[in-house]
Chains A and B, each alone.
Chain A
């Protein structure tokens, strides 16, 4: 057993853990943030992607000990809002809803540009791969805000979507890039 402390989405989390604890397990079971998904556990599907000190990693293939003392950003850290629990929602009722975000008590304006683009472009079907896709795209677009569709395909090469909804994910990536560019232009103008 060993003591570990890391900052998860700005909150310091300390625990005494088994050395074998993966960063993914630390985030889900100890920090209690279940947005980061456990897909394959062998660094293939990318559903568990999070940022450690600003660099994207697959948290299922990193020991929590390797992230000791570092700052971790998960999907929950992208937008400050808290979503209302929405247990009454079924896929059928969601499909018929004009503004599903209303039901969640969420405001599109508060979403991270990548999250917003996923919402607008319907870039998720079952949504299981979405946290990883969003984190990898966020990390990539911060480095290259003016990508081609092929660049985005390459950037998410390590993320698998079993609904095979890649076209809409790439649409969302392109739209998020545009919004990020526009946002930074506005910052410069202001």
Chain B
């Protein structure tokens, strides 16, 4: 039985390979790019590995397409007291809102 650390290292390598491929193929073959993201997420789940926020937010939660502003995503900033960063997936319409301000304590 391999150690958990080795397993996660292996999983992480595979995830990096797949996500890089996804980013490279998004402009030529969207279905394939989606497939790579899907596989990467499945590998992460299998290895019980959490992806950093930077990666989690780069792909649509619903349809797994790499989110590229101007191509597959619309990014809007809503300012004001409770400002939000609003990312809309242009492929499936999924909307994700991120708060811009940390809660004051």
Are chains A and B native binding partners rather than an unrelated pairing?
A: no
A: which residues have CB within 8 A of B? none
